[in-house]
A and B are shown apart, each in its own frame.
Chain A
Amino acid sequence: MDSKVENVLGGMEEDDGELTTTEELLSDIRIMTLPGEEEGSASFEIIGEDHTLGNALRYIIMKNPEVEFCGYSIPHPSEDKMNIRIQIYPEYWEQTRPYDALMKGLDDLADLCDHITHAFKEARDNFTDPGDNSEQR
């Protein structure tokens, strides 16, 4: 249970006095764990996301060597929901839970965005448009 995310919850048990405020804050959560969760595997349902985040997140989570499987689906086109499933290799169960892989994926995606922004700005600022006579389409 020494998973990284569990540490964040430290102190959670004590803040009894804030239960009501917490309850309010916890009202509009866009993500939930689907039934059937096990030690090394879980499916999450994310509301308000689609292939845009789904595929990028699946790609970056599959890049995690501790992850055995990651896939996403849009169960029904009329529902604004995206399901993502993560399975961890059994040898990493001690240190990593599916949440951790999901969190790492989001962190990695944020890092990737930062670098794309940096590289894009650099390339743009070092570029002068040659005018109309170059490059078709």
Chain B
Amino acid sequence: MPAPAIRRNIVGVTAETVTNVSSTDFPGHWPGEDHSWNINHFRRVFKVKFYRNTPLLSQFDLIHTDAAIANTLRRIMIAEVPTLAIESVYVSNNTSIIQDEVLAHRLGLVPLRGDKDALRGLSWYLRGEDVIPREPTDEDTVVLYLKKTCERNPEAKKTDTDPDKLYTGHNVYASDIVFEPAGRQIKDFAHDPVRAANPDILIAKLRPGQEIDLTMHCVKGIGQDHAKFSPVATASYRLLPDIKIKKPIRGKAAERFAACFPKGVIAVREGEDGQKEAVVDNVRNDTVSREVLRHDEFKGIVELGRVRDHFIFSVESTGQFDADEIFLSAVGTLKAKTINLKRDIYKMLRKQALDAKRAREAVEEATEEADVMDTQ
């Protein structure tokens, strides 16, 4: 007997096990039901609902889609949406205690920001196939400088012990990075220069006489290559929790029931008869900790679960692009993948046809030759 459609999309969560974990919305799974892909049906049922949308944080729900799609989009956001990051560091002078390679690594991880359209317009810096690197141009490379020298503060008192009073230039911050636009970048980044997204990142500490002097080349890359190119700090989803109270929970038990969940999940309301009753208020706050299942008094009264096709996304940007734009780029990237692969399938089929034709011709030639031999 088919499960009632309404419970079919609930993944059950019991004390030690999970139930009903796999999607079953495929053709041939349920007798008499058509689950074949239908874009019009998808257009009708698919919903997006926003909860937060700031440049650095987007929280939204994707409702009525499959984990395969949600996970693909999450993976693309993390690993395949391109951003600009420091790739090469040319050290002219570094007398600080932090080693060149460690410093270079730290610099690479500094999130950058700047004019978004100009950043999107940058082309890929392709290394030459031979040993000699290809010459960088204003279209694929952004050049940054960092120069800082530490000196004693002549106005410091003899009794001072605080480095902030004793020295000047002893902290190297991300805000000390200077952008040097070249060629078309002068116009493109005129209003929004390339700079660190978070100016307060401490890159290194210096003491009097020490100096850092470097040139950095930034290029476009993807998170698959290195995490510094990932546009998101986190991009994650969780399934909407589901709490089903099967029998009314009244009186003191209602309070105890509510205490099993995070704040706001269960509300205790007064019923018509003046008795307190536990009702589900905001399931989104729940963590599905299963605490309630440890209490014998609620055994069989409550069912926990998660809604299989309701994804609560949280996308946190590193600052280069707005969080919602990163999601849209991910969808665009997925579409581009399908188009590119289709082109390659056509190529493959052409090649197969070509090979088949060649083979046929070879056979024909061979038989012709054989015929000639025969007549001779």
Q: Which residues of A contact B (CB under 8 A)?
A: 5, 8-9, 12-13, 19, 22, 25-26, 29-33, 46, 49, 51-53, 55-56, 58-60, 62-65, 99, 102-103, 106-117, 119-124, 127, 129-130, 134-137
CB contacts (< 8 Å) of A120 on chain B: these are: 48, 60, 324, 327-328, 331
Tell me which of A9, A52, A108 contacts B75 (CB under 8 A).
A52
A49 touches B337 (CB 8 A): yes
Q: What CA separation (Å) do A63 and B36 show in the bound complex? A: 5
Q: Answer whether residue B372 sits at the interface, using C-beta atoms and an 8 A cutoff.
A: no
Q: Which residues of B contact A (CB under 8 A)?
A: 26-28, 34-37, 39, 42-43, 46-54, 59-60, 62, 65-66, 68-69, 71-73, 75-76, 79-80, 284-285, 314, 324, 327-328, 331-332, 334-335, 337-342, 344-354, 357
Q: What CA separation (Å) do A114 and B351 show in the bound complex? A: 31
Q: How many A-B residue pairs have CB under 8 A?
A: 156
Q: What CA separation (Å) do A49 and B80 show in the bound complex? A: 11
| SS class, residues of chain B in contact with chain A | helix
Closest to B57 in A: A129
Q: What CA separation (Å) do A80 and B61 show in the bound complex? A: 32
| SS class, residues of chain A in contact with chain B | helix
CB contacts (< 8 Å) of A31 on chain B: these are: 341, 344-345, 348
Known: A63-B26, A63-B36, A117-B328. A106 touches B50 (CB 8 A): no
Q: List 30 A–B pairs whose Cβ atoms lie within 8 Å, in order of A's numbering.
A: A26-B347, A26-B350, A30-B344, A31-B341, A32-B348, A33-B348, A52-B337, A53-B334, A56-B68, A59-B68, A62-B26, A63-B27, A64-B27, A99-B349, A108-B39, A111-B42, A112-B42, A115-B43, A116-B46, A116-B48, A116-B73, A116-B331, A117-B328, A120-B48, A120-B60, A121-B328, A124-B48, A124-B60, A129-B54, A135-B59
Tell me which of A60, A103, A108 contacts B345 (CB under 8 A).
A103
CB contacts (< 8 Å) of A119 on chain B: these are: 46-48
Chain A nearest CB from B86 CB (Å) reads 26
B348 touches A52 (CB 8 A): no
Chain A nearest CB from B283 CB (Å) reads 12
Most chain-B Cβ atoms within 10 A of its Cβ — which of A8, A63, A113, A134? A113
